[in-house]
Chain A
Amino acid sequence: MRHRSLFLTLLSATIVFGAWEIAGRVPVSFAFPTFLESMAAFWVLIVEGTLFTAYAETLKPLVVGVTISAFLGIGLGLWIGLSEKIDWLISPIFVVMQTAPLAALIPLLVMAYGIGLTSKVFVVCIMAMPVIVLNTSGAVRNTPASLKEMGHAFLGSRSDIILKIILPAASPVIFAGLRLGISAGFIGAILSELKITPTGVGDIITFSRSIADYPTMYAAIMSIILLAVLFLNVLERIEIFLFGGNNKGYVSE
C-alpha cells in the first residue's frame, strides 16, 4: 500500500516534470525555462544561501499570519457555529473577505499600516482566515443533532459536548478548511511581497524577472510550492495525531 502510493507520487512527478522539460525545450515561450535549467538555478539559490535569507523574510508574515488565522479562525468559527446570533453578526464579514478583490485592498492596508510586517500579515490573514472560519462554523453547525442530544442525555457539560462531540465530529471539515486556508496564506505571503515591498522570495521573483533570469524566477516559485506541500503534510500528521480515526464515516440513518 505504502509502496504503491510512493510509486504513484513518483510517477505523477515524472509526468509533470517531463512535460515541463519538453514544454521548455519546444519552447512554449522564451520566458519559460526548462525543468533542468530551473533545477540548476534552484541549486545555485541554495548553495549561495540566497534562498535561506529570502525565506527568513518571507516566513515571518507567513508564519505569523497563518498561526493567527488558524487559532483565531477556528475559535471564531466555533463561536459562530454555536450561536445563531453571532453567525448573523459576523459571518457576512468573512463572506465579504473571501470574495473581496485583495489586490484592490492592498493600497488601503498600506495607507493604514505602512509597508512593514503588519500589512503583510494582514494580507496573509485576509487570504487564509475566511475559509477556515466558514468551514469551522459550517462543520460545527452540522454536527448531528442526535449526538449532541446524546451528550446532553448522558449529563455532559457544555464544554464536554464541545470538546468530546462537536469538535471531533467537525474535525475533518475543520482540517480541510485549514489546508485550504494555509495554501491561500502562502499565496497571500508572496502576493504581499510582490505588491507591497519586494522582500524575501518575492524579491527574488521580482528581481530575476527584471533581469530576465527566468530559471531563477521559476526556481523561486517552485520552492514556494515545495514548502507549501511540506507544510500540508505536517498538518496532516497533526490531524492524525490529534483525531486519529475520526474519518470513520457516519453511522446513523
Chain B
Amino acid sequence: MTKSTTNIEHAVTVRNVHKNYGDVQALENMSLDFPRGQLTSLLGPSGCGKTTLLKIIAGLLPATSGEIIVNGTPVTGPGPDRAFVFQDFALLPWASVLRNVAFGLELRGVAKSEREAIAEKYIANVGLAGFENSFPHELSGGMRQRVGLARALSVDAQVLLMDEPFSAVDEQTRRKFQEDLLGLVKNENKTFIFVTHSIEEAVYVSDQIAILLPRPSRVSEIIKPSGFRHKSADHIRRDPEYLDIVDNIWASLRSYVE
C-alpha cells in the first residue's frame, strides 16, 4: 500500500546513491524524490555532481551503490520512460535539424514518414519552423539547444532530464524559454528534472528546488516555492516570496563560493 502510493506520487526516486570516479567522490549518499508531473531543479556549484546525478538517473552511468527507481522499477540502463537534453547538445553535425529531432524515434524504429511528422510538430513547438533542413553548424547556440530539446520532447518520455538546457542563450531568450518551460510543465504532464546554475531561474521555473553541496555532493536543502506558481509570468519576478527565496538560497550558497 505505501509502496504504490509513493509510486504514484514520485516519478523518480533516488535512494542512497554514491558515485566515485576512481578516487574522486562525486556523490555521497544522495537521496531525493521527484514528484510526478512537477519540475525539480538541481542547483549547486559547478563540479558538484549535477550532470553525474542526471546521467545516473538516465541510466548512462552506473551508480557505485544505491538505487534509482523510475515508476516503481529500478533503473539498470536507459529506457523509453526517460529522455535527455544534453548540456553540449550532442547533435549529429551531418544530419539536418529534421533528422536530428527525429533521431530518437529513428533509433526506436519508427517509420520515416511518421517520425518526421512528429519531429516537424516539435520543431514548430520550440520555434524552429522553417529550419527543418538546416544543419547544426548553420544554427546559433540557442537554436541548437532547442533542437536538443525538440528531440527529447518528440520521443514522448514521461521524465525529461535537462542538463542546463538554457545555458547557451542570451538573457532575453532565456526568459522566453523559461516561460515556455512553465507552459510545457503545465500542458505536457511530464516530470522534469532540470539542472541550472542560476538561482533566479531555479526559483522561477521550479516546483521543487534541491540545493546540492559541493563534492562529495549531498542534498543540503529542499525548497518548494508554491505561493506564486499561479501568478502570471510578469508578476512572479516581483512576488515577495520569489524574492525571499532567491535571497535565502543565495545566503546558503554564498558560504561555498567564498
Contact = CB atoms under 8 A, between A and B. Distances in A.
Contacts of B58: 153
A105 to B, nearest CB: 40
> Secondary structure at chain B's binding surface: helix, strand, loop or mixed?
loop
B80 A153 contact: no
A152 B58 CA distance: 10
B94 A156 contact: no
A239 B92 CA distance: 18
A100 to B, nearest CB: 36
B194 interface: no
B107 A252 contact: no
B256 to A, nearest CB: 25
Contacts of A160: 107
A199 to B, nearest CB: 44
Interface string A210-240: 0000000000000000000000000000000
A146 B82 CA distance: 17
B88 to A, nearest CB: 5
A146 B90 contact: yes
Given A154-B155, A248-B137, A249-B93, A149 B107 contact: no
Contacts of B60: 149, 152-153
A153 B75 CA distance: 13
A150 B137 contact: no
Contacts of B108: 154-155
B107 A246 contact: no
A153 B135 contact: no
Assign chain A's interface to a size class.
20 to 34
A93 B89 CA distance: 38
Given A155-B78, A252-B89, A150 B135 contact: no
B83 A248 contact: no
B94 A246 contact: yes
A160 B159 CA distance: 23
Nearest to A144: B90
Contacts of B90: 144, 146-147, 149-150, 252
Given A146-B86, A248-B136, A248-B137, 9 more contacts: A153-B60, A154-B103, A155-B104, A155-B107, A155-B108, A156-B107, A157-B107, A246-B93, A247-B94
